[in-house]
Amino acid sequence: MRVVPITFREACAFIAEHHRHNKPPRGMKFAVGIQLDDRVVAVATAGRPVSRVYDPRRVLEINRTCTNGCRNANSMLYGACRKIGKAMGYERIVTYTQGEETGQSLKAAGFRLDERLAARGSWADSSIKLRDIRDPEGNGGVPRERWVWP
């Protein structure tokens, strides 16, 4: 397995096909893939933090990782994003997992659990006026965990 650069379009197509609970992100700073035997088996996208609390010039968020089930690919993705983010000058890297996920890939890549977050309503539930046009897919109603590096 090796880390390879990929385009945003390639990453989004892979995520749309393989991710179990999220759609592709709307934007990114960079994307990387893991290649095995001339085919991409995993992708990650990283971009500005979704939370307004973080300064996007100093903090990078890994928005998505997605694999086709290939062992250790997720840890390689997190490690690659960490190295790229550090090389780009980011001081902190954050990402989120769902509460029932173990975070083993993140631990292997040097991340630490920062905070357990209670379930929140979905974006679709946050506004009566916008309920009909917002997409209900996502992490609403699911406890999450925030992971950070360093």
Task: Output the pTM of the full model.
Answer: 0.84
Q: Tell me the pLDDT of the chain (150 aa) as tens digits.
A: 999 999 999 999 999 999 876 778 788 999 999 999 999 999 999 999 988 888 888 999 999 999 999 999 999 999 999 999 999 999 999 999 988 889 999 999 999 999 999 887 655 555 555 444 444 455 557 899 999 999
The residues with which 149 forms a beta bridge, in sequence order, are 93
For residue 37, what pLDDT is reported?
Answer: 94
Domains and CATH numbers, the chain: 2-149 (3.40.630.30)
- State how far the Cα of 6 lies from the Cα of 131, in Å rounded to an integer: 35
β-partners of residue 148 are 94, 112
Supply the pLDDT for residue 23: 76
Strands 144-149 and 92-98: antiparallel
